[in-house]
Amino acid sequence: MSQSQLLSNAIVFPLKLDGPSNYREWAFSVKTVLRGHGLASHLTDDPPTDKSKDGSGAAAVTTWTKDDGRIMSAIVTSMKPSLMMSLEHHQSAKEMWDYLQGRYVQNSGALLLTLMQGLHDLQQNEMSIEEYYTAFDRLMGPFLSMVPKCEAGCSGCCDKKNKFIEKFLIYQFFHGLRPDFESSRKQLLNASTTPFISDVLSALIAEETRLNSQSPVSVPHSVLAASHKTNTVKGNSFSPCVHCKKTTHRSE
């Protein structure tokens, strides 16, 4: 295989894993990229075996092994150097994935308490709606990862549970908004059905744009300096003449 073919077959993840601070974003990028390549099953399934008597399944095993090697290579090269050697003894992409998930996805009472305290204390203050939601999402993601998964065959009860959790988080997001958004918050809270978080963000960003358009426009310092300069003649700054309103001479 030529060098160009090797490069075209390479799998590249857009983020560099640097530890627990960005594991969630990194894991999402890994799963999304592998889905695009049709290889996401390598993170969850065990390697296939050739159970055929005539060896006809050997080709499928060989292909899987090559693809798994590409994924392992992509995982290692998407980590900061100090983390690489922790994967030295793992023999498949699934083993690597399970190890990193166990290392960075915690499920403890102490972590849950920390996340809940962080969500309660988080306030928008001077942040934009986008910045505030990004900070909120960094706490909400690990919190949601601790919610027990629905069992197979469960439908109605799990659906109700998920809707309640989403409603709780939206209300928690409202809790930290600045008073400027009180009218939008009341309108969203009084809706007949609980809005999706995407609808909430859309409404709040629209309100933020409206509020910004009504704010007084501050005059840049450079404009003020230029204005001062035009009112200065040969180093002397004059007030406008009370008679003719010109600034080229003093009022007598």
pLDDT tens digits along 194-216: 888 888 999 999 999 999 888 76
Give the pLDDT band of residue 3 (cuts 50, 70, 90).
very low
pLDDT tens digits along 4-27: 444 457 899 999 998 887 888 899
pTM of the model: 0.57
pLDDT for 249: 55
Instruction: Report the DSSP beta bridge partners of residue 233.
Output: 236
Give Cα 95 distance to the centre of its chain.
26
- What are the φ/ψ torsions at residue 155 (nearest 5 degrees)? -135, -75
Query: Domain segments of the chain: what residues?
Result: 3-104, 109-214
pLDDT at residue 149 above 60? yes
pLDDT for 227: 53
pLDDT for 233: 42
Q: What is the mean pLDDT of residues 240-244?
A: 58
* Strand residue runs (E) in the chain: 232-233, 236-237
**CB–CB of 204/181 below 8 Å?**
yes
**CB–CB of 40/31 below 8 Å?**
yes
pLDDT at residue 122 above 80? yes
pLDDT at residue 168 above 50? yes
Residue 121 to residue 196: CA distance in whole angstroms: 23
pLDDT, mean over the chain:
81
Question: HEC profile for 57-110?
Answer: CHHHHHHHHHHHHHHHHHHHHCECHHHHHHHCCCCCHHHHHHHHHHHHCCCCHH
Give the pLDDT band of residue 110 (cuts 50, 70, 90).
confident
Cβ-Cβ contacts under 8 Å for 136 (sequence gap 6 or more): 119, 122, 172, 173, 176
